[in-house]
Structure 1
Amino acid sequence: MKTRIFIVDDHALVRRGLAAMIALESDLELCGEAEDCATATSEIERLKPDLVIVDISLRGNNGIELIKNIKILDPRTQVVVLSVHDESVYALRALKAGAKAYVMKQDVSYKVIEAVRKVLSGQIYVSEAVSVQMLDRLIKGPEHFSESPVAVLSDRELEIVTLIGSGLGTREIAGRLHVSVKTVETHRGHIKSKVNLRTANELVQFSVRWVEESKRELA
């Protein structure tokens, strides 16, 4: 019996590329795909795939929230994350949410299938750099590492920082995340408190700087 795979990515070209790779594997098959979290959640519940390939950046809730939802629907469903986002920031968050692999989109394509194979055999797949970082933290302790300025934020707070830094206002963010304006304002207050910011302008500057630094790291 073939392993049934579901793809969640908001770029049609990425979905087509992944589908083509899966089609080349005799023991794998594509059972469905979606471009946003709402559609993905309902389709995954209906189709019950063995493994889901998820992007972090999606319309509505982000990929981290989707991973949590997938594991609630069926803890046996395996998850592989494929993302452009800096793995040093997001890989551990994805693993904590329930994913078993984190692959950068900049990596060569065969690594996606390699990650899928590793996960299906019960292993975790991350890059060598992240693996070394995680082992160092385990052996030496977190006090020996300078944390990212966003390390103290929750997954949702980090998502809101990214949206603020991308130029979205409170009402736009509320619409994008399908939450109330009041909820976004509450998150903004928590973010300011956690990273020691006093004003809304300082929050915007912090968020823009974070987004720009993230883009430079991926360049």
Structure 2
Amino acid sequence: MADISPPTTCKVLLVEDHPMFREHLSALISREFGMSVCGEADNIQDAMKLIEEKKPDVAILDITLRGSSGLELLKDIKARGINLNVLVLSMHDEDLYAERALRAGARGYISKNEASKEVISAIQSVMKGDVYVSRTMNAKLLARMTQKRSPNQLAGMELLADRELEVFHLLGKGRSTREIADALHLGESTVETYRARIKEKLNLRSAAELYLRAGEWVREHGA
């Protein structure tokens, strides 16, 4: 008797802290690809549990999550040797985060400001195992490789390590040292060390300057 079992459907995991955007993305994936969303999470702990339990084929991940950032999840996936194609879909500045995400293990990076058609193209690329970045970002990455870097408004920010950038972002949202420590599961002394390193790298003289600069950054580049 012929095998009439249905074909295997590609499973997608959504890791995003805005329920309405998850709903929109889930509908887009189902409509355009006929794929199933096998799980949703808004933090890296729940996301890792779903990755281990559901074994998705593709994950679509935001940088900003509840608690630690999506970059930490990417690093965890890579450290555990999990074979998972991840597309980062975020509001955060591509200039600052795309290269970090790719280094951490993502297969692609696209802004939420892009049209649905471009998001679909990015998902298709990542599903095939290809690397996706925008044409603009691709040109910038090639320029960096050939050391033809042009000045931009992010000067200085690229000096921050991933965790320092995460702390800087939370400072910009008005979080105290204790709140940051709780959110990132760090000791308060560790957060203070990160604050000191950020001040030094950005040439800031005081805590007031640090909070001011961080607040401006969040307002300009999104929460």
TM-score by length of 1: 0.90
What is the DSSP-based 3-state SS (H/G/I as helix, E as strand, rest coil) of the residue aligned with 2:156? coil
CA–CA distance in structure 2, aligned partners of residues 156 and 212 of structure 1: 20
What are structure 2's unaligned runs of at least 5 residues? 1-7
2:79 to 60, 72, 81: 72
What is the DSSP-based 3-state SS (H/G/I as helix, E as strand, rest coil) of the residue aligned with 2:87? strand
What is the DSSP-based 3-state SS (H/G/I as helix, E as strand, rest coil) of the residue aligned with 1:151? helix
- 2:98 alignment counterpart: 91
CA–CA distance in structure 2, aligned partners of residues 50 and 211 of structure 1: 33
What is the DSSP-based 3-state SS (H/G/I as helix, E as strand, rest coil) of the residue aligned with 2:159? coil
What is the DSSP-based 3-state SS (H/G/I as helix, E as strand, rest coil) of the residue aligned with 2:198? helix
- Residue 122 (str. 1) matches residue 165 (str. 2): no
What are structure 1's unaligned runs of at least 5 residues? none
Q: What per-residue deviation string (whole Å, max 9, x for no partner) do you get for residues 49-105 of structure 1?
A: 111100110011101111111223344201000101111111111111111111111
Q: How many residues align?
A: 215
CA–CA distance in structure 2, aligned partners of residues 84 and 213 of structure 1: 11
- Backbone CA RMSD of aligned residues: 1.9
- 2:4 alignment counterpart: none
* Distance apart, 1:152 and its partner CA: 0.4
2:204–2:210 Cα contact (<8 Å) kept: yes
Identity %: 42
Runs of 4+ in 1 over 3 A off after TM superposition: 144-147
1:45–1:73 Cα contact (<8 Å) kept: no
- 2:28 alignment counterpart: 21
2:68 to 48, 61, 65: 61
* Distance apart, 1:23 and its partner CA: 1.4
1:79–1:101 Cα contact (<8 Å) kept: yes
CA–CA distance in structure 1, aligned partners of residues 148 and 159 of structure 2: 16
What is the DSSP-based 3-state SS (H/G/I as helix, E as strand, rest coil) of the residue aligned with 1:211? helix
- Higher Rg: 2
CA–CA distance in structure 2, aligned partners of residues 6 and 213 of structure 1: 29
2:219 to 190, 212, 215: 212
- 1:101 alignment counterpart: 108
What is the DSSP-based 3-state SS (H/G/I as helix, E as strand, rest coil) of the residue aligned with 2:11? strand
2:29–2:35 Cα contact (<8 Å) kept: yes
What is the DSSP-based 3-state SS (H/G/I as helix, E as strand, rest coil) of the residue aligned with 2:64? coil
* Distance apart, 1:185 and its partner CA: 0.7
1:38–1:60 Cα contact (<8 Å) kept: no
CA–CA distance in structure 2, aligned partners of residues 156 and 118 of structure 1: 29
What is the DSSP-based 3-state SS (H/G/I as helix, E as strand, rest coil) of the residue aligned with 1:52? strand
Q: Which amino acid aligns with 1:190?
A: R
What is the DSSP-based 3-state SS (H/G/I as helix, E as strand, rest coil) of the residue aligned with 1:176? helix
